[in-house]
Structure formats: C-alpha cells, structure tokens
C-alpha cells in the first residue's frame, strides 16, 4: 500500500501534468473566447453546478477583480427566476466537465433565443454543450488525481487554471493596469499602496512642530518633544521652509556641545534643504525615500515653498503600507 506521502505526491504530479497539458489547448478557440468577452457590451455570467459551480464562482470573482464585470448564476436557480438578472448583451461561460449537465443544458434555449454568446468550458469536446456553444475551452484530463480515479480533482484544477489563463489574457486585451486592480481592492495591501497619497496621512496645522531660526535650541527641543514627530521644521516669517532638526541631531549636538547646545539657536544646528515630497505623491513613494535615506520624516511643502505638512514613517506603516 502506498504511503500517505506517496499518495499526496501523486495527486500533485497528476494535477500539475493536467495543467501542463492545457498549454496545447490555448488555440483559436481560446482567442475567440477572449474576443467575445472583450467585445461584449454587458457582463460575463458564469454558470455551473456542483464542483464546476464552485470553480465558476472563483473565476467570476477573478474576472470581476480584474476589470471584467462578472457574476455567478446558479443554473438551477436560473430556471426559477434568476434568469431575470441576465440581459441579451451579456456573455455566458457555462462550465460542465461532462458537457451534459442537465441544469446547464436547460439554459441554452434561453440563451439562443436572445442571441447571447456562449463560451463552454468542458472536459468533453464532443458534448452537447461544446457543440452548441459559440466556442469551447477544452479542459479534459487523462485521469483524476484521487485514489479512486473519479472524484473531481485534476479536472477542477484544470478548469480553474483555464479560468485564470482567460482572466490574464483579458487583463492584457483590455489594457487593465496595476492601478486599476488597486482601485478594485481598496482594502488590500496593493490598494493601500496605490491609492493612499501623502496628503491622506500627513500632519498639518497645529500638529506641525515649527520654530524660527532665532529660536533657542532649548525651546526647539521642547517643540520636538511636545509634537511627538521626532523633528522640528525651521521656517521664516513667511512660513517658508529653511531647515529641519531631528531628534538625532539633538543627540549628536549633546555629544558635540554638551550643555551649551541648549543656548544655541535653531539656525546653528538645523540641516538645510531637508528631504521633501509632494502631497500628491503616493505614501508608498514617501516610504521608499525614507528607507533610502534612513530617515523617518519627510517635509511636505506647498507650491510656494511654505510648510504644508509632515509625513512620518509610523503613519505609513500603521496604514499597512510596507
């Protein structure tokens, strides 16, 4: 008797080979399916029952998240009213490994009546579904991966992989960009990186630690401490940015001047031309600059060179942008 490890490894090998075999099926039928969906005025309606239905739900979700409006429709529910969700401008992707699933075939007359385009995903190229569809994607497998040889395993994996291939091709055909994906995933990590701007996180107004060139360092240090951003910005009487003092500058100043540091003025210690970033830049870009220069804060100037805000690395990390 094969060990459990052997069985598991055989499953993965069979499923991997089933996906590898799909490469030869990326042909004119596949390209036709891409064009049908690309040219559709409506949405993509995916239907299937059982395991095919579960795979269909995932394919619908992938298409929707990559710019192709899609939804899953249960074929049994469709026959009891859900067909009202479908319009003649929609495209149907019907999934059935056998291509003879009664609940799916029952929908074909309705689709034909409204001249809807039908794309079949099936493991039987000679089936009723494949023959009546406008094009079909062949996901047949040599054998299932389960020990009994009949439980849907390799076939469902192949169907899922073909759905991913279709979605990826549509991403390129539709000119879908990474920024578009982020728009559809505002709560995800990529969405946060691509949508969150500096102006969304920066500190403004009374939160800003600000002193003037003639301010004593003792008072400048108190400003750093009270505003809790680890820096203080030095501005002139018109609020134009002159320089910056960080808590690191303070520590180094103590080592250099000792107690005399507190009697110096801000202009004696400040670093001129501090690193800045536009409020319209992505927060992810701000993080990249901070990491490059090993700093924790960037100054955000207004268009006239006056101080508008500060963005701190902690604000970016708390947002989940890494």
**Judgement on whether residues 202 and 171 belong to the same structural domain of the protein:** no
- In the structure encoding, which two tokens stand for residue 8, read together? 């598991």
- Count of CB atoms situated within 10 Å of the CB of 169: 17
Over residues 232-273, the pLDDT tens digits come to: 999 999 999 999 999 999 999 999 999 899 999 999 999 999
**Judgement on whether residues 171 and 215 belong to the same structural domain of the protein:** no
**Judgement on whether residues 171 and 203 belong to the same structural domain of the protein:** no
Last residue of a domain, one of 176, 207, 239: 176
Over residues 182-223, the pLDDT tens digits come to: 555 555 555 566 778 999 999 999 999 999 999 999 999 999
CA pair distance 105, 110, nearest whole angstrom: 10
Cβ atoms of 163 and 58 closer than 8 Å? yes
**Judgement on whether residues 129 and 35 belong to the same structural domain of the protein:** yes
- In the structure encoding, which two tokens stand for residue 26, read together? 């990326």
Cβ atoms of 145 and 153 closer than 8 Å? yes
In a domain, 129, yes or no: yes
How is 94-110 classified by DSSP, letter by letter? EEESSS--HHHHTTHHH
**Judgement on whether residues 138 and 57 belong to the same structural domain of the protein:** yes
Q: 301 forms bridges with which residues in the sheet? A: 307
In a domain, 311, yes or no: yes
Torsion of CA 177, 182, 183, 188, to 10 degrees: 160
* Strand (E) or helix (H) holding 48: none
Last residue of a domain, one of 125, 142, 176: 176
In a domain, 185, yes or no: no
In a domain, 44, yes or no: yes
Over residues 16-67, the pLDDT tens digits come to: 999 999 999 999 999 999 999 999 999 999 999 999 999 999 999 999 888 8
Q: From the CA atom positions of the chain, what is the Rg in Å?
A: 31
Kindly indicate the confidence band of residue 289, based on its pLDDT and cuts at 50, 70 and 90.
very high
**Judgement on whether residues 264 and 155 belong to the same structural domain of the protein:** no
- Count of CB atoms situated within 10 Å of the CB of 195: 17
**Judgement on whether residues 111 and 206 belong to the same structural domain of the protein:** no
Is the backbone of residue 164 left (phi > 0), alpha (psi -120 to 50) or beta?
alpha
Last residue of a domain, one of 176, 206, 221: 176
* CATH at 133: 3.40.50.10490
- In the structure encoding, which two tokens stand for residue 269, read together? 């210690």
**Judgement on whether residues 119 and 11 belong to the same structural domain of the protein:** yes
* 128-165 as b/e: b if 16+ CB within 10 A: bbbebbbbbbbbbbeebbeeeeeebbbbbbbbbbbbeb
Q: What range does the domain containing 40 cover?
A: 4-176
Cβ atoms of 267 and 213 closer than 8 Å? yes
In a domain, 142, yes or no: yes
**Judgement on whether residues 19 and 146 belong to the same structural domain of the protein:** yes
Q: Look-up: residue for tokens 């505003």?
A: 227
Over residues 77-120, the pLDDT tens digits come to: 987 778 888 999 999 999 999 999 999 999 999 998 889 999 99
Q: 46 forms bridges with which residues in the sheet? A: 72, 93
* CATH at 271: 3.10.580.10
pLDDT above 60: residue 164 = yes
Domain total of the chain: 2
In a domain, 193, yes or no: no
In a domain, 43, yes or no: yes
**Judgement on whether residues 139 and 226 belong to the same structural domain of the protein:** no
**Judgement on whether residues 157 and 69 belong to the same structural domain of the protein:** yes
CA pair distance 69, 170, nearest whole angstrom: 12
In a domain, 192, yes or no: no
**Judgement on whether residues 102 and 162 belong to the same structural domain of the protein:** yes
């Amino acid at each position: 008797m094969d060990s459990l490890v052997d069985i598991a490894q055989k499953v993965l090998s069979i499923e991997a080979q089933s996906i590898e075999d799909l490469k030869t099926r990326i042909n004119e039928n596949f390209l036709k399916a891409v064009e049908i969906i690309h040219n559709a005025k409506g949405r993509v309606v995916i239907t299937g029952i059982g395991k095919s239905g579960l795979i269909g739900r995932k394919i619908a979700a992938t298409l929707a998240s990559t710019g192709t409006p899609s939804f899953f429709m249960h074929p049994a529910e469709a026959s009891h009213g859900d067909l009202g969700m479908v319009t003649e401008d929609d495209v149907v992707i019907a999934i059935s490994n056998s291509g003879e699933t009664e609940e799916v075939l029952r929908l074909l007359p309705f689709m034909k009546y409204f001249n809807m385009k039908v794309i079949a995903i099936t493991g039987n190229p000679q089936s009723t579904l494949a023959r009546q569809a406008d094009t079909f994607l062949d996901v047949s497998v040599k054998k299932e991966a389960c020990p009994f040889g009949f439980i849907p395993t390799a076939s469902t994996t192949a169907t899922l992989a073909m759905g991913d291939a279709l979605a990826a091709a549509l991403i390129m055909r539709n000119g879908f960009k990474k920024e578009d994906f982020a728009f559809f995933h505002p709560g995800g990590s990529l969405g946060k990186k691509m949508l969150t701007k500096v102006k969304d996180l920066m500190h403004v107004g009374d939160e800003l630690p600000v002193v003037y060139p003639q301010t004593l360092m003792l008072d400048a240090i108190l400003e750093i401490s009270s505003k809790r951003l680890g820096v203080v910005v030095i501005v002139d009487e018109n609020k134009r940015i002159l320089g910056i003092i960080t808590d690191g500058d303070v520590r180094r100043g103590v080592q250099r001047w000792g107690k005399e540091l507190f009697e110096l003025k801000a202009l004696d210690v400040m670093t001129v031309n501090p690193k800045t970033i536009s409020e319209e830049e992505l927060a992810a870009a701000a993080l990249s600059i901070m990491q490059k220069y090993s700093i924790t804060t960037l100054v955000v100037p207004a268009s006239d060179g006056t101080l508008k805000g500060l963005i701190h690395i902690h604000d970016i990390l708390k947002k989940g942008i890494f």
